Amino acid sequence: MEFQLLYHEYLNLKFNRGLPSLQTDPFEYCYYEDDRAELFFAGREDESFPEWTYELQPRDPNYILHPDWQPVLSASFKNMDVYDELILYYLLFTINTTTSIVNVNPYNAMNDFMKNYCFFQLAQLTSSARLNDEQKQQLREFFFFFYLYTHPVNEETLYSFSFSGQDLIHTKTHIHVEHYFSAYHDHYKANCKKYSDKLQISPEEIDACKHLTLALLRTIEGKSARLVMPPEEGLEAVLQLINDVDTLLSIYFENKTALFELIRGFLSNNRSNPYHEHCFRTLLQNYVCYID
């Protein structure tokens, strides 16, 4: 499965674009009765992608004076304690729920927009030629902080991770998140029978979840191909600026009037729909983050 196709399917459903479903095997989106949508394995609706680890959530050591157990992967990550293990689990869940389509209301609208906005921007930074390495690093840290903050996560998780170059690490232990997530999935895949009371998916399905989680992580780290928002009639000029930060910076510094005319022209267009509005909000947010 190509992650770009899954991302386009996510946008198609989230903004009710009414387009034919894209090829996202082995996953497909299914709706709950309240119109939320989650990724499930094609042909079955008993275990969603973000929730397959629900029964594997570590015990919370914060409610016990002296925790007397070891992390599941302590043999592989010797400097990790049970507090670190829980934080890494929270991060795994947070990253996987990037694929979730939630009901937006006045109370969660800003968080929903900013989490998705920051995820998309993290996928853009590496390809920019107009931003220097220091600017990219500052923006990467900024976007990742608000990606977590607007999930939202608890304070311990929010401040537990940082970037070493493009590698996301658990700051305290210096564990590379990609290494941990890979080992995590491999452990449960190899010990599927041992955890049969907590696992509802097969070893092959665990492997598929691993590939998708790592695709999400590498997108956040900027190690994958740049994501782009799909085309739509009437959005050509806006999408050109959204899908390439360098184009936005070029037009601003070389011809500000053209940028402001584009914005004015969009506002005078009466054909607005949820996807149009999202793209326009993204463009305005880009102006704030990259220019203002």
Candidates 167, 201, 158, 197; CA nearest to 48 is 201
Please tell me the distance from the alpha carbon of residue 60 to that of residue 154, in angstroms, as a whole number.
13
Same domain, 198 and 157: yes
- The verdict on 8 and 86 lying in the same domain is yes
Collapsed DSSP state (helix, strand, coil) of residue 53: coil
Look at residue 270 and tell me if it is in a domain: yes
pLDDT at 1: 64
**Domain assignment of residue 127, yes or no:** no
195 domain-assigned: yes
| pLDDT at position 90 | 97
Residues 72, 171: one domain? yes
Q: Which of 221, 255, 271 is the last residue of a domain?
A: 221
SS (H, E, C) 215-273: HHHHHHHCCCCCCCCCCCCCCHHHHHHHCCHHHHHHHHHHCHHHHHHHHHHHHCCCCCC
Residue with tokens 């170059």: 165
Two structure tokens written together for 120: 């998309």
Same domain? For 168 and 214 the reply is: yes
Range of the domain at 259: 236-291
Residue 182 domain-assigned (yes or no) = yes
Is the whole model's pTM more than 0.75, yes or no?
yes
Amino acid 270: pLDDT: 65
Does residue 226 form part of some domain? no
Pairing verdict, β 37-41 and 161-164 = unpaired
Cα 171 to Cα 234: distance, rounded to the nearest angstrom = 45
Domain identity same for 82 and 46: yes
Indicate whether 25 and 62 sit together in one domain.
yes
Residue 195 and residue 261 share a domain: no
Q: Tell me how far CA of residue 257 lies from CA of 54, 154, 262, 264, 265, in angstroms.
A: 52, 43, 9, 10, 12
Instruction: Tell me if 142 is assigned to some domain.
Output: no
- Confidence grade of residue 64 (pLDDT, cut at 50, 70, 90): confident
Same domain as 191, residue 97: yes
Mark which of 169, 189, 221 sits at the end of a domain.
Answer: 221
Tell whether 165 and 286 lie within a shared domain. no
| Domain-ending residue, one of 198, 221, 244 | 221
Confidence band for 234, pLDDT divided at 50, 70 and 90: confident
Same domain? 97 vs 20: yes
More confident residue, 265 or 27: 27
Question: C-alpha dihedral over 179, 181, 185, 187, to 10 degrees?
Answer: 60
Tokens of 75: 């043999």
Lowest mean pLDDT among 29-38, 91-100, 141-150: 29-38
Cα separation of 202 and 189, whole Å? Answer: 8
Query: What's the pLDDT score for residue 52?
Result: 96
How high does pLDDT run on average in the chain?
Answer: 94
Distance CA 72, CA 16 (A): 41
Give the model's confidence band at 35: pLDDT under 50 very low, under 70 low, under 90 confident, else very high.
Answer: confident
Higher pLDDT, 92 or 47: 92
> Same domain, yes or no, for 213 and 241?
no
- Residue 242: inside a domain, yes or no? yes
- The answer to whether 222 and 140 have CB atoms below 8 angstroms apart is yes
Which is more confidently placed, 164 or 35?
164
Residues 33 and 45 sit within 8 Å (Cβ to Cβ): no
* Shared-domain flag, residues 79 and 162: yes
Is residue 121 situated within a structural domain? Answer: no
The total number of structural domains in the chain stands at 2
Return the closest-CA partner of residue 145 out of 130, 129, 160. Answer: 160
